[in-house]
Amino acid sequence: MHPLLNIAISAARRAGLVIVRHYDEGARLKISTKGPNDFVTNVDQAVEQEIIEVIHKSYPHHGIMAEESAFLAPEREDIIWIIDPIDGTHNFIKSIPHFAVSIAVQIKGIIEFGVVFDPIKQELFSASKGGGAQLNGHRIRCSPCEKLEGAVIGLGFPVCERQKLAQFSAPYNKIFESCSDFRRSGSAALDLAYVAAGRFDAYWDCGLKPWDSAAGALMVREAGGYVSDFQGNSSYFETGEIIAGARKVYPELLHLIQATL
Ligand code: IPD
Ligand code: CA
Ligand code: CA
C-alpha cells in the first residue's frame, strides 16, 4: 500500500476511536454554531487535531485543508490533506449512527488518495487514483443500474444556504418523478462512498465544500462511475454542486438537472 494511503487510513481509524468514545453523549457535547444550521462540536475539533497530529508526525511539511482549522499551505512538496473530521455532524449530535471521517490527499492539484471511514459500522472505504476503490479491502464497483427509472438517488439539501432551495425545487421534482426513491442521509462523504459501493445508483447535492466530496468523488470514479458539477465539468470544489453516479444513470441525471435549472 502507498505510504500516504497508509497514513490516511491510520489517521481515520484513530479519529474513529475518538468519535466512538464520544458517541451518544447528548447534552454533554459542547455545540457551537458556525452559521445558520451549521454546527460544530468539541468532538469535531478534537478529532480534527488528532488527524492532523497523525499526518504531521509523518509529513510535517504537508499542507492541511481541514473543515475546522485555518488553511495550512504546504512548506515544500505540493501535497495537501483535505479533511472532514466528522461528515454528518448533525447526525452525530442527534445520535443518529451515520457519519464518517473523510480524508483525501491532493498532490499537485490532483486527488490521488481518499479514505471515508464509518466508525460505527466499521466500514472503511478507500481509493487510490488508478488503483480502484475498496470497502474493507474488497474491491467495490458502482451499480449496474441501467436507467434513472428504478434508481435510488442520494441527495443533499442546501441546509446552510436556504435561498438556494427555490432554485432547486424544479430538479428535485423532476428527478423524483423519474427515479425510484430518494435517500437523504446527512453525510455527503458516505453518500459518495455508497455510490462507489453500488448501494446508491447516483447522488447529487448543491451545497458542498471540498472536504465533503474530495475523498468520495475519487472513490466513485475509481469504482467506474462519473462525477461532475451541474455543467458536466469538474469544478464541483468551486461551485459545491455535484452529480455522481453509475455509468448509465449519471448521464440521465445530468441531463434532467441541466434541463430544469
Ligand atoms: C454536511 C453533510 C451533509 C451535506 C452538507 C454538509 P457536515 O457536512 O455532508 O450531507 O448535505 O452540505 O455540510 O457539516 O456534517 O460536515
Ligand atoms: Ca462535511
Ligand atoms: Ca464536518
Q: What pLDDT band is residue 96 in, cutting at 50, 70 and 90?
A: very high
Ligand 3 centroid–CA 12 distance in Å is 13
What are the pLDDT digits (tens) for 40-75?
999 999 999 999 999 999 999 999 999 999 999 999
DSSP 8-state secondary structure symbol assigned to residue 120: T
Which ligand 1 atom is the nearest neighbour of the CA of 86?
Answer: 16
What pTM was computed for the model? 0.97
Top mutation candidate among 116, 182, 212 for ligand 1, by most atoms within 8 Å of CB: 212
Q: What pLDDT band is residue 5 in, cutting at 50, 70 and 90?
A: very high
Q: Tell me the mean pLDDT in the region 102-108.
A: 98
DSSP 8-state secondary structure symbol assigned to residue 72: B
Q: Tell me the mean pLDDT in the region 214-226.
A: 98
CA angle 64, 68, 69 (to 5 degrees): 45
Domains of the chain by start residue, with CATH: 3-139 (3.30.540.10), 152-260 (3.40.190.80)
Question: What is the pLDDT at residue 200?
Answer: 98
Torsion of CA 89, 94, 100, 104, to 10 degrees: 0
Ligand 3 centroid–CA 50 distance in Å is 14
Which ligand 1 atom is the nearest neighbour of the CA of 99?
Answer: 15
Nearest to 218 by CA among 143, 155, 140: 140
Question: What is the pLDDT at residue 50?
Answer: 97
Which ligand 1 atom is the nearest neighbour of the CA of 212?
Answer: 9
261 Cβ contact partners less than 8 Å away, ≥ 6 residues apart:
167, 170, 171, 230
Ligand 1 centroid–CA 179 distance in Å is 23
Q: Is 11 exposed, middle or buried (0-12, 13-18, 19+ CB in 10 A)?
A: buried
- Nearest residue (by CA) to ligand 1, atom 15, is 88
Q: Which three cell numbers stand for residue 214?
A: 474530495
Q: Which three cell numbers stand for residue 176?
A: 423524483
Is 245's pLDDT higher than 90? yes
